[in-house]
Amino acid sequence: MIELRPYQQEAVAAIYRHLRERDDNPCVVIPTGGGKTPVMATVCRDAVGRWGGRVLILAHVKELLEQALDKIHVVAPEMWMKTGIYSAGLKSRDTEHPIIIAGIQSVYRRACELDAFDLVVIDEAHMIPPDGDGMYRTFLDDARKVNPNLRVIGLTATPFRMKSGMICEPGNVLNEVCYEIGVKELIIQGYLCPLITKGCAQPLDTSGLHVRAGEFVAGEAEDLMDTDELVESACREIVEQTQGRRSVLVFTTGIQHGEHVAAVLRRMASEPVATVFGETATEERDRVLAEFKAGKIKYLVNVNVLAMGFDAPNIDCVAMVRPTLSPGLYYQMVGRGFRLNAGKENCLVLDFGGNVLRHGPVDAIRVQAVNHRAGGEAPAKQCPQCQSLIAAGYAVCPDCGYEFPPPERRQHEATASTEGILSGEVTTSVHEVREVFYSVHSKKGAPEDAPKTLRVEYRIGFHQHQSEWICFEHTGWARQKAESWWRRRSTAPVPRSADEAALMANDGALCRTRAITVRTVVGDQFPRIIGYELDDRPAWREPGVDDDLEPAGVLAGGSAGAYNPLDDDDLPF
């Protein structure tokens, strides 16, 4: 049995809070490699073991179904005998278990056959179509005929679609992101592998490509990329850049292009090269993937087959020999290299499709809902000297020291740049706060008796959060700051612990935060909150006055112990 990481525990608590307090459907956003499946397994364990419910896990590829089954076995071994699989690809059609893991293609017309569920958990939830009669909607509509009170939980690393923007909206299957943690935060905390990025020597010109359904027309993109000159150049760079790499995953535009790239790699490299395409036989595909994961194959070429649900921690280089207009596909391709592995210091991303320049750094992807050719400042730029892809605000390349010429100012420029140009430049911005989340934070690797903090997370955009940490359990100046912070927001006594603070904050002890002022210093790791717009402080109810409150011992840190959302036996669905 594994112990959830602190942010995974926060995600589980956020799901339960949302299900109790709202009547719509939540979504959790955790980066690829950050561990969505343990969160899913924990929800299944609690729903069945604590609350006597029944859960269906839906996914669209068999690898995700197998991962879910494996994680339930590890996280909740007591649920192993209570879990079944319904999937044609896995040759299993279980229907009687409290937990069913199913492929959407196998069950979307069989909701009544599977009987009633209390929860449906959808992995890779961005695959739900925004409208129309897709398989997910067909299944959920029928499942609600069996149980009108059915709730849906989504998990994804990319809460947006290529054409329609964010997946959580009123009227959609999923309605609100209840918890989100970013790539950069998990890299800094040591849970994801650092990335280093290089572009190609000759930038790609996609101006002649047409767009259909929000993506470059596939045939045109393949014709553009599948030339002898471009393939030879790309493969030469891949081989040169990966001399010290062990496992290289290559994405191409089509089967013909993929075969071409693989043939040239075999000629240029001394290490094994293999291909996996949609038409590859299952047995051959399984053999190739097993050998790649075992380190017997260095270069693995594919066409989107391995962009999602493929878990190979040994990948230390991702080469995108294809352009895409989809921010989600771009993220999923790069995300194959996020996972940690023994001896893996970082993952090299080689971009031959102009994707980093098009979408921005992977931890700050720019999402455009409709017009993919809209103007505006590029979110990233390429160093002409070393081909590194870096944020647009750098004046000097951090990799080779190249000094970029100062930007040319257009006359009557409508707005000033929001990016700092010189190291140390300060930018101040005010953001409306949409929601605030309070949770207990423990520093990774700290001893059990180390002081914990109250993590306050402000949602200031669809995919943007700003956090701060309030140190109630520290001493000296840190404790004084925490007391001042609390008194500005509450008439309740100042908490003595982070657990007490989180419980009181979530019980309504703090006033509403309407807006925050954030200061960003170029070169600093994190922006910092320097100002707030607050409502009036609410009147505080003494513990015990309202029967719905927790016992006083919990609030005061007494014999009831520290607050844990899983200690609450109230049904969350």
As a whole number of angstroms, the distance between CA 109 and CA 533 comes to 50
**Domain 6-183 identical in fold to domain 193-371+378-391:** yes
Closest CA to 422 of 521, 527, 275, 540: 521
In tens, the pLDDT along 191-243 reads: 999 888 876 556 678 888 998 878 899 999 999 999 999 999 999 999 999 99
Beta-strand relationship, 195-199 and 347-351: parallel
As a whole number of angstroms, the distance between CA 35 and CA 114 comes to 28
Closest CA to 2 of 31, 49, 37, 47: 37
- The amino acid at residue 412 is H
The CATH architecture one would assign to domain 193-371+378-391 is 3-Layer(aba) Sandwich (3.40)
- HEC string for 65-126: HHHHHHHHHHHCHHHHHHEEEEECCCCEECCCCCEEEEEHHHHCCCHHHHCCCCEEEEECHH
As a whole number of angstroms, the distance between CA 264 and CA 229 comes to 11
With both helix axes pointing from N to C terminus, report the angle between 218-225 and 228-241 in degrees, rounded to the nearest 10.
70
As a whole number of angstroms, the distance between CA 153 and CA 119 comes to 7
SS3 180: strand
> Contact 140/150 with Cβ under 8 angstroms?
yes
Q: Where are the alpha helices (DSSP H) in 364-520?
A: 476-487, 498-506
Q: How many CA atoms lie within 13 A of 227 on its CB side?
A: 9
As a whole number of angstroms, the distance between CA 326 and CA 215 comes to 7
Closest CA to 402 of 382, 385, 420: 385
Is residue 18 within a helix (H) or strand (E), and if so which, with residue range? helix 6-21
In tens, the pLDDT along 411-432 reads: 333 333 233 323 345 677 888 8
Closest CA to 309 of 279, 287, 333: 333
Any residues with CB less than 8 A from the CB of 383 and at least 6 apart, and which? 389, 390, 397, 399, 400, 402
Q: How far is CA 313 from CA 196, 198, 317, 397, 445, in A?
A: 16, 21, 11, 29, 22
In this model, does residue 555 exceed pLDDT 50?
A: no
As a whole number of angstroms, the distance between CA 311 and CA 292 comes to 11
Closest CA to 327 of 127, 155, 122, 163: 163
> Contact 16/572 with Cβ under 8 angstroms?
yes
Question: Would you state the structure tokens that stand for residue 226, as one six-digit string?
Answer: 């599948």
Q: How far is CA 182 from CA 18, 212, 454, 458, in A?
A: 20, 30, 18, 13
Which range, of 4-8, 43-47, 395-399, averages the lowest pLDDT? Answer: 395-399
In tens, the pLDDT along 52-88 reads: 999 999 988 888 888 888 888 888 888 878 899 999 8
**Total count of residues recorded for the chain:** 573
In tens, the pLDDT along 284-340 reads: 999 999 999 999 999 999 998 888 778 899 999 999 999 999 888 898 899 999 999
In tens, the pLDDT along 93-124 reads: 989 899 999 999 999 999 999 999 999 999 98
> Contact 532/515 with Cβ under 8 angstroms?
yes
Question: What is the DSSP annotation of 479-490?
Answer: HHHHHHHHHTT-
SS3 417: coil
Q: How many CB atoms lie within 10 A of CB 88?
A: 12
Any residues with CB less than 8 A from the CB of 250 and at least 6 apart, and which? 238, 258, 261, 265, 299, 300, 301, 302, 319, 321
In this model, does residue 445 exceed pLDDT 90?
A: no
The CATH architecture one would assign to domain 6-183 is 3-Layer(aba) Sandwich (3.40)
Question: Would you state the structure tokens that stand for residue 144, as one six-digit string?
Answer: 């609600």
In tens, the pLDDT along 339-351 reads: 999 999 999 999 9
Q: How far is CA 126 from CA 130, 163, 199, 560, in A?
A: 9, 12, 28, 41
Strand partners, 467: 457
Higher confidence at residue 551 or residue 174?
174
Mean pLDDT of the chain: 82
In this model, does residue 470 exceed pLDDT 70?
A: yes
Any residues with CB less than 8 A from the CB of 14 and at least 6 apart, and which? 26, 28, 178, 179, 437, 439
Strand partners, 429: 518
* Confidence at residue 20, expressed as pLDDT on a 0 to 100 scale: 93
Question: Would you state the structure tokens that stand for residue 528, as one six-digit string?
Answer: 């910092």
- The amino acid at residue 439 is S
As a whole number of angstroms, the distance between CA 222 and CA 261 comes to 12
Strand partners, 532: 516
Dihedrals φ, ψ of 405, to 5°? -65, 150
In tens, the pLDDT along 359-416 reads: 877 776 655 543 333 344 455 566 666 566 665 656 666 666 667 776 543 333 333 3
Beta-strand relationship, 453-461 and 464-470: antiparallel
Closest CA to 247 of 194, 322, 300, 310: 300
Q: How many CA atoms lie within 13 A of 56 on its CB side?
A: 31
Domain layout of the chain by residue ranges: 6-183, 193-371+378-391, 428-567
As a whole number of angstroms, the distance between CA 346 and CA 541 comes to 51
Closest CA to 457 of 513, 537, 495: 513
* Confidence at residue 426, expressed as pLDDT on a 0 to 100 scale: 66
Dihedrals φ, ψ of 467, to 5°? -115, 155
- The amino acid at residue 471 is C
> Contact 19/118 with Cβ under 8 angstroms?
no
* Confidence at residue 374, expressed as pLDDT on a 0 to 100 scale: 38
